[in-house]
Structure 1
Amino acid sequence: MEKPSLAIEFCGIRMKTPVVLLSGCVGFGEEYTRITGYSNQEVGAICLKGTTLEARLGNTPHRVIETPGGMINSIGLQNPGARHVIEDIIPRLDLSETRYIANISGSSIDEYGEITKLFDDSPVDAIEINISCPNVKDGGAVFGNDPEVSARVVEACRKATTKPLITKLSPNQTDIADSAQHCIDAGTDAFAVINTLMGMSIDIEKRRPVIGNNQGGLSGPAIKPVALRMVHLVHQVCKDHNIPIIGQGGISSAEDALEFIIAGATAIGVGTALFNDPLICKEINQGIVSYMEKHQINSLSELTGTLSLNQPAPATPACNC
């Protein structure tokens, strides 16, 4: 048997591995690629830091706090604005070492369309639509929690670009599968599932929230079971349309990554785990290859969406009390 291949195709984009470094966790990429020990052979794609049309200063501190099983962040989309990213930052990136995905957010549907048009003229490989940022006072959270509004955002972006569109879905909604279907109908090419969950941490001495914005996005291992379920639900909608998914939410090992792939993810997003171990991607990839060798799997496409559900039990309350 030949050595298993980690290479995947995602919306027509060839990636060396299924590992995608998530937006906000590695800056615009060049900050991360300078780390001693980094190898571009371990990373399939890098999502650029979330970008808005105009520059933003972001939220007041504290912006990040460690929590049991993860962290809460409320950066507030601090960024220099789309034009600066396109004209000054992207030209400094080594576009040959990996794939780059823009991550965009807006305060209106028109703004989403405008910023998409700007990135359409850039060399990025794809555009991720952040309709579900939970830590911005206007925009994202509202769009991401309403399937019809989400679809309108996707539709506006679709009209503005021929590049692949990846819609980042919010877990803070009633029916994520319904939202996915609306976005497919509007023209999305792929999904990132999921964004962070809403969370809070309280300073008991001050009796005030620790995060300056009061609440923020919870990420890390604590959200993995929720993310896995939602990847499975979205995959049920996507599989007949050949719509790929970046599965993300608490991945910090090869075993985590394999669970997401089995649940229906084509690629896997790594974010919070990088803060603990910046070189964890190599460990994840090696673990995936070992699993593939053990089970005589040549390509990850053979594994994607192969989850077999247990025989349904009689209806019981969700809490099983």
Structure 2
Amino acid sequence: MTPDPHDRRSLRTDFCGLAFDTPLVLLSGCVGFGEEYTRIEGFSNRDAGAICLKGTTLHPRLGNDPPRVRETPSGMLNSIGLQNPGARAVIDEILPRLDFSETRFIANLSGSTVEEYADLARCFDDSPIDAIEINISCPNVRAGGVAFGNDPEMSQRVVEVCRKETSKPLIIKLSPNQTDIASNARGCIEAGADALAVVNTFMGMAIDVESRKPLLGAGQGGLSGPAIKPMALLKVHQVYRVAKPHGIPIIGQGGIVSAEDALEFMIAGASAVGIGTALFYDPLVCVRINEGLVDYLKRHRIDGIDRIVGTLESKDR
């Protein structure tokens, strides 16, 4: 059952000046370009505060060789390789079909060079998209991808050039596959980031023991799902301590499948939470999570979901 709309008012979230009806964000690569899940009975874009569109590059990409997806214990490896029709097709053909009255839409952009990131930001600045997420941390693309996200200087350079090309809210998606994520986050904030998405998938692989070959066509991919949740949660809290003094909000993500998971990430410092892998086996998971969040706020007599963000207390209290 969908929560009563009056109850749902307690879930309203301000994110970079954008009004979200709920703190849930559907993650890039998990809902295509915002149209696929509308075919499922009971699914509504209104159950999410925002939808991140599929990763988009300047020019069309066919993606990686198959197999591209592999189930793992409590998780999933994916190696899609940013298959997409290119920026111009997304802006001219896909965005006009989206109903911007239902939810917020966030473009997810990825480049192979700093110049490509700048060109992409410029293209989407002149579009109806609500915000731009810069993907500097894709672990299954050979050119660019995670290399940008693991190099603090390169990360800052990408943010700087994108900042010059757009006035839209700029969300930087950070890689967990780096030594000091907090330091990188600080650099991105100084370079002009409005928000941070923490974290992208962890690098991983799977092997067929009979053939002794990788089970993914690209050899490696990104690990997502409940298996990464404890690590992602720690990364969010580490970044929050850097972001809080600057008032920079965080989309926390990594294995969230329940209201309790979402609450953990928000208590650790996330202002919004990303839902991804769970959608593949429970397309209506957002309804259940929203219900759980509303129930939690009622039980604890809290009048707004924003009041629990960053409320983690020391164990000895």
Distance in 1 separating the partners of 2:172 and 2:238: 15
Q: How does 1:204-219 map to 2 (within 5 A)?
A: 204-219=209-224
* 1:178 equivalenced with 2:188 (yes/no): no
Is the 2:77–2:224 Cα contact (8 Å) retained in structure 1?
yes
Is the 2:57–2:84 Cα contact (8 Å) retained in structure 1?
yes
Is the 1:3–1:298 Cα contact (8 Å) retained in structure 2?
no
Task: Select 2:152's aligned residue among 139, 147, 153.
Answer: 147
More helix, by proportion = 2
- Provide the residue aligned with 2:229 in structure 1: 224
Distance in 2 separating the partners of 1:7 and 1:255: 18
Q: How does 1:102-141 map to 2 (within 5 A)?
A: 102-141=107-146
- Provide the residue aligned with 1:47 in structure 2: 52
Is the 1:4–1:293 Cα contact (8 Å) retained in structure 2?
no
Distance in 2 separating the partners of 1:40 and 1:251: 18
Is the 1:48–1:103 Cα contact (8 Å) retained in structure 2?
yes
Distance in 2 separating the partners of 1:131 and 1:40: 26
| Equivalent position amino acid for 2:22 in 1 | T
Task: Select 1:245's aligned residue among 233, 242, 250.
Answer: 250
Q: Which runs of 5+ in 1 are unaligned?
A: 313-321
Task: Select 1:37's aligned residue among 30, 33, 42.
Answer: 42
1:309 offset after TM fit, Å?
2.5
Distance in 2 separating the partners of 1:309 and 1:230: 17
Is the 1:221–1:249 Cα contact (8 Å) retained in structure 2?
yes
- Provide the residue aligned with 1:81 in structure 2: 86
Is the 1:4–1:289 Cα contact (8 Å) retained in structure 2?
no
Task: Select 1:17's aligned residue among 22, 26, 36.
Answer: 22
- Provide the residue aligned with 1:67 in structure 2: 72
1:198 offset after TM fit, Å?
0.4
Distance in 1 separating the partners of 2:8 and 2:206: 46
**How big is each residue's C-alpha offset from its partner over 1:253-287, in whole Å with a ceiling of 9 and x where there is no partner?**
00000000000000000000000100000000100
**How big is each residue's C-alpha offset from its partner over 1:9-56, in whole Å with a ceiling of 9 and x where there is no partner?**
000000100010000000000111221101233110000000000000
Tell me the TM-score normalised to structure 2 length.
0.97
Is the 1:4–1:298 Cα contact (8 Å) retained in structure 2?
no
Distance in 2 separating the partners of 1:121 and 1:60: 33
Distance in 2 separating the partners of 1:3 and 1:150: 37
Distance in 2 separating the partners of 1:42 and 1:83: 29
- Provide the residue aligned with 2:4 in structure 1: none
| Equivalent position amino acid for 2:107 in 1 | A
**How big is each residue's C-alpha offset from its partner over 1:44-77, in whole Å with a ceiling of 9 and x where there is no partner?**
0000000000000000000001000110000000
- Provide the residue aligned with 2:276 in structure 1: 271
Aligned sequence identity (%) = 67
Task: Select 1:302's aligned residue among 304, 307, 312.
Answer: 307
Distance 1:144 1:3, change over 3 A: closer
Is the 2:8–2:22 Cα contact (8 Å) retained in structure 1?
no
1:245 offset after TM fit, Å?
0.3
- Provide the residue aligned with 1:319 in structure 2: none
**How big is each residue's C-alpha offset from its partner over 1:78-133, in whole Å with a ceiling of 9 and x where there is no partner?**
00000000000101111111100000000000100000000000100000000000
Is the 1:4–1:292 Cα contact (8 Å) retained in structure 2?
no
Distance in 2 separating the partners of 1:28 and 1:40: 12
| Equivalent position amino acid for 2:238 in 1 | L
| Equivalent position amino acid for 2:251 in 1 | I
Tell me the TM-score normalised to structure 1 length.
0.95
Is the 2:56–2:110 Cα contact (8 Å) retained in structure 1?
yes
Distance in 2 separating the partners of 1:245 and 1:299: 17
RMSD: 1.3
**How big is each residue's C-alpha offset from its partner over 1:119-160, in whole Å with a ceiling of 9 and x where there is no partner?**
000100000000000000010111000111101000010000
- Of stretches 129-138 and 40-49 in structure 1, the one that deviates more from structure 2 is 40-49
| Equivalent position amino acid for 2:126 in 1 | D
Q: Which runs of 5+ in 2 are unaligned?
A: 1-6
Is the 2:9–2:21 Cα contact (8 Å) retained in structure 1?
no
**How big is each residue's C-alpha offset from its partner over 1:179-223, in whole Å with a ceiling of 9 and x where there is no partner?**
000000000000000000001111111111100000000000000
SS at match of 2:140: coil
The number of aligned residues is 312
| Equivalent position amino acid for 1:274 in 2 | L
* 1:260 equivalenced with 2:272 (yes/no): no
| Equivalent position amino acid for 2:294 in 1 | V
1:3 offset after TM fit, Å?
7.3
Task: Select 2:286's aligned residue among 281, 285, 299.
Answer: 281
